[in-house]
Amino acid sequence: MKVWKNSPKDAILAGISVVQLIVTVGSPIIWSQLSTTARAVDGVLLTMLMAYNIIVVSHLFTHMPWFVSARLNAVTSVVNSISIGQSVQAYQFTHVRNHHRYNNDRQRPDGETRDRSSTYRRGKNGQHEPLLSYILGGALSSVVGRAVELSMVVRGWRVTDANLLRLASRQPGRRSRELRQVRLDRAAHCLALVALATISWQWALFCYLPAFVCALVLVNVQNYFRHYGADPDSRTTDSVSHYGRLYNLLTFNDGYHQEHHLSPATHWSQMPAVHARHRERLATKPRIISPVPAMVGFLDRSRPLLHEGTSESSNS
């Protein structure tokens, strides 16, 4: 019987999901036995695991669910929702159906962007929003959203957010399944957090919460520099790629971001092939190729600002 929908290579991602869940659940159990140094290491580890899961593991899952079985995919969504503190199905709505439709667009005449995660959303005079405002404001908004979800236990975590309801499928059967999955994901991560906090409220307050906020900040830094300076008006230059071999090995070709935007429904293992297929098209206009991963994109000091029409230099 076939298990993997797209590739057996996805078993690695599934394995990472299980390992992170074990680390997250085990962390409060052993918290009282850890030294101060070990607790600090635990916090850093949780931060990196959450950020990695959002950027790589759950990101790839939202684009191409791993299993043939719908039930296994539903369980995977729940497991990763516990690990990243938010609904993976809701993430699929906002990322795949919103971000990849509008591709970090500029503000319209009414001052709004259609991409709700656009780096231009709160910018001025056609510029990106300032980095600190983007990463801290986005993290704060997410924390508030999770707090609201915790309070929604009285409503069974029913989906009432107008934006999510607009992004859900219009097909009645599929829409019902998707919204039910959001509720399951939310119930799982909220109840899991309450259970873990019951084991150790000190861990929840001094380790999990700071790690969660820091992970959100890192994710926002990643998204910011995946698009900073790129030209949102061109489908071949609206994102920033990084072709470092080690980075792409460790992140399942996450660096091929322009290629991912050109073909978001293509499996991660085929991103180099997408690059080769679009090589001539990508070469027709100046584009940004970063010498460093997006997480440390602020180190790319010579990056051209294509959104301003500045293309004299290119990191190609």
Share of the chain above pLDDT 70, in %: 98
- Phi and psi of 289, rounded to 5°? -120, 110
User: Does the pLDDT of residue 110 top 70, yes or no?
Assistant: yes
Give residues with Cβ within 8 angstroms of 260, minimum separation 6: 239, 266, 271, 274
The per-residue pLDDT for range 123-145, each reduced to its tens digit, is 999 999 999 999 999 999 999 99
State residue 313's pLDDT score.
39
The per-residue pLDDT for range 203-249, each reduced to its tens digit, is 999 999 999 999 999 999 999 999 999 999 999 999 999 999 999 99
Report d(CA 255, CA 244) in Å as an integer. 8
User: Does the pLDDT of residue 7 top 70, yes or no?
Assistant: yes
Helix, strand counts (H, E) of the chain: 15, 0
- Taking each helix axis from N to C end, the angle separating 172-199 and 131-151, rounded to the nearest 10 degrees, works out to 90
Q: Mean of the pLDDT values across residues 73-90?
A: 98
Question: What is the rounded average pLDDT for all residues in the chain?
Answer: 95
State residue 300's pLDDT score.
96
The per-residue pLDDT for range 251-267, each reduced to its tens digit, is 999 999 999 999 999 99
Share of the chain above pLDDT 90, in %: 95
Report d(CA 173, CA 176) in Å as an integer. 5
State residue 164's pLDDT score.
95
User: How is the chain split into domains, by residue range?
Assistant: 10-225, 245-308
Q: Mean of the pLDDT values across residues 162-187?
A: 96
